[in-house]
């Protein structure tokens, strides 16, 4: 049976039953996962220098290449696909931790495994830096030809995990009274979807879990287009910090075109553990607030002298 990718992960790793080989599977145009390369043990050393001399395959660097948005290797041999069907899935994280143990206890070739220490930390730091968009402009040009299903320039870019994801803003029938959705951070989108408040669809819940596993196990962040698909909104808006979201809420409230200051917002956040729940600036894990009030909580106006 072929493995069908739900459209979320960019790669999967499988341990083959013989000889310690690991298969790298990637989605084709039909979203079916196929073997791109099989790594013998020699190509599973962490960050080996051979890569820079003669571009030899390296499991860890190739995985990072894919999460960076580059095309994967594609040189599988006949029969590899069949072998991978019976292989067990393994995460990049567990392979990195195995390499770290080999470098620590001397069971691996010492010279080759010297890069194994802190390998998973290095991989996750690299992946996180690639998607961090702190200070970037909000993504608000998301309608008509620039929606997430069409030509939005950032559609295939890994999504900023700390951003505000705002959905169902333009699709409301009553622009004043109908609430729209806003979650601060990718994890809060996952929480909202898994709890069924935005969607009780079991397929969506499964997709959320697959997305989380890809991110946490393979350092493979979902793209913005994939986040929009999860939220079922091709006009999803993205704000990389509280200040830009608050400024946009005020601007929209003032225009009174698609939204008003008293339009409700369904807000999902992870509360600051040090914050006082009685503080006017406190946001509960899940609440519904008027847009104007939310803007004032996120970016209080300075008192006039």
Distance CA 105, CA 218 (A): 24
How would you classify residue 55: left for phi > 0, otherwise alpha for psi between -120 and 50, otherwise beta? left
Q: Structurally, how many domains does the chain consist of?
A: 2
- pTM for the whole structure: 0.88
Given 109, 131, 153, which residue is the final one in a domain? 131
For 35, phi and psi rounded to 5 degrees?
-70, 130
Q: Report pLDDT for 29.
A: 83
For residue 31, give its domain range.
Answer: 12-131
Q: Report pLDDT for 157.
A: 93
Q: Report pLDDT for 4.
A: 39
**Whether residue 265 sits in one domain with residue 156:** yes
Q: Which of 272-276's residues contact partners 24+ apart within 8 Å by CB, and which partners? A: none
Instruction: Tell me whether residue 138 is in a domain.
Output: no
* SS3 sequence of 229-242: HHCCCCCCEEECCH
**Whether residue 158 sits in one domain with residue 27:** no
Q: Report pLDDT for 98.
A: 86
List the chain residues with pLDDT less than 50.
1-6, 305
Q: Report pLDDT for 244.
A: 98
**Whether residue 249 sits in one domain with residue 196:** yes
**Is the distance from CB of 253 to CB of 291 less than 8 angstroms?**
yes
Given 100, 131, 162, which residue is the final one in a domain? 131
Q: Say how many Å lie between the first and final Cα of the chain, rounded.
A: 70
The model's pLDDT over 228-259, given as tens digits with 9 standing for 90+, comes to: 999 999 999 999 999 999 999 999 999 999 99
For 143, phi and psi rounded to 5 degrees?
-110, 165
**Whether residue 293 sits in one domain with residue 151:** yes
């Amino acid at each position: 049976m072929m493995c069908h990718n739900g459209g979320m992960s960019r790669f999967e790793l499988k341990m083959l039953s013989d000889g310690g080989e690991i298969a790298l599977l990637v989605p084709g145009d039909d979203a079916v996962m196929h073997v791109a390369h099989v790594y013998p043990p020699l190509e599973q050393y962490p960050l080996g220098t051979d890569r820079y001399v003669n571009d030899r395959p390296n499991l860890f660097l190739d995985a990072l290449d894919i999460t960076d948005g580059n095309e994967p290797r594609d040189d599988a041999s006949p029969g590899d696909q069949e072998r991978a069907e019976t292989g067990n899935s393994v995460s990049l994280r567990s392979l990195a931790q195995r390499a770290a143990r080999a470098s620590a206890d001397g069971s691996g070739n010492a010279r080759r495994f010297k890069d194994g220490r802190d390998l998973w930390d290095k991989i996750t730091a690299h992946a996180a830096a690639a998607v961090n968009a702190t200070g970037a402009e909000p993504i608000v040009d998301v309608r008509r030809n620039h929606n997430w299903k069409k030509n939005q320039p950032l559609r295939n870019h890994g999504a900023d995990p700390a951003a505000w994801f705002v959905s169902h803003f333009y699709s409301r029938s009553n622009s004043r009274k109908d609430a729209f959705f806003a979650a601060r951070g990718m994890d809060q989108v996952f929480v909202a979807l898994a709890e069924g408040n935005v969607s009780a669809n079991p397929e969506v819940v499964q997709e959320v879990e697959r997305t989380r596993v890809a991110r946490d196990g393979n350092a493979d962040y979902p793209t913005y287009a994939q986040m929009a698909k999860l939220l079922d909104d091709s006009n999803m808006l993205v704000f990389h910090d509280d200040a830009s979201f608050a400024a946009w809420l005020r601007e929209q409230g003032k225009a009174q075109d698609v939204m008003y200051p008293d339009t409700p917002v369904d807000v999902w956040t992870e509360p600051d553990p040090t914050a006082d729940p009685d503080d006017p600036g406190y946001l509960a894990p899940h609440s519904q607030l008027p847009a104007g009030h939310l803007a004032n909580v996120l970016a209080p106006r300075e008192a006039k002298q």
